[in-house]
């Protein structure tokens, strides 16, 4: 099976699973996000089974809908695409997921902090829900664009050295790098 199709299949299966995922099943995203939010805000999250982490000091709940799972899937596709283009090996799909997880935690943490800092500054005419979604979309898109650029920079093949020959014509030395 084509490696790109396999990445797409993983995406579809995980998206299907996510439709019924509970807060407990999403703890792998919720718990580290809550730990970061608790550290920065000083508001300890209290786990409420079936709901998520309640922060009384901030009057907010980090629940299943705040897990960042959709961002995890999009990040997985991004990293899969970039790594498969560069290396073409099946194991890159695992690496893509391993890279997507901490990026999701960072993005989700950033999104929650942005909402906490700007939440009450809703522009005139926007509902609180729309403002909340706009902030989240902006943060997620920004993190995704930066991650893509940084990953492309890291995966960029090294330039091949050029030397000149006696007749001042450039010679390119081609190096074969094993995968």
Residue-number span of the structural domain to which 129 is assigned: 3-172
pLDDT tops 80 at residue 124 = no
Domain count, the chain: 1
Alpha-carbon radius of gyration of the chain:
21
- Going by pLDDT thresholds of 50, 70 and 90, the confidence category of residue 118 is confident
Answer yes or no: is 178 within a domain.
no
Which of 114-118, 167-171, 173-177: highest mean pLDDT?
114-118
The model's pTM is: 0.83
pLDDT tops 80 at residue 176 = no
Tens-digit pLDDT profile for residues 62-88: 999 889 999 999 999 999 999 999 998
């Amino acid at each position: 099976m084509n490696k790109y199709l396999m990445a797409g299949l993983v995406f579809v299966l995980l998206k299907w699973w996510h439709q019924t995922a509970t807060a407990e099943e999403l703890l792998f995203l919720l718990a580290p996000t809550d730990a970061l939010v608790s550290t920065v805000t000083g508001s300890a999250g209290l786990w409420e089974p079936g709901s998520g982490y309640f922060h009384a000091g901030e009057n907010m709940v980090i629940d299943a809908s705040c897990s960042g799972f959709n961002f995890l899937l999009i990040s997985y596709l991004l990293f899969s695409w970039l790594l498969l283009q560069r290396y073409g090996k099946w194991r890159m799909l695992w690496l893509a997921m391993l890279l997507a997880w901490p990026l999701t935690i960072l993005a989700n943490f950033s999104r929650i902090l942005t909402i906490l800092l700007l939440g009450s500054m809703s522009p005139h005419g926007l509902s609180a829900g729309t403002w909340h979604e706009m902030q989240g979309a902006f943060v997620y898109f920004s993190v995704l664009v930066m991650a893509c650029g940084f990953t492309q920079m890291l995966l960029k093949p090294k330039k091949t050295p050029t030397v000149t020959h006696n007749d001042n014509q450039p010679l390119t030395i081609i190096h074969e790098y094993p995968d």
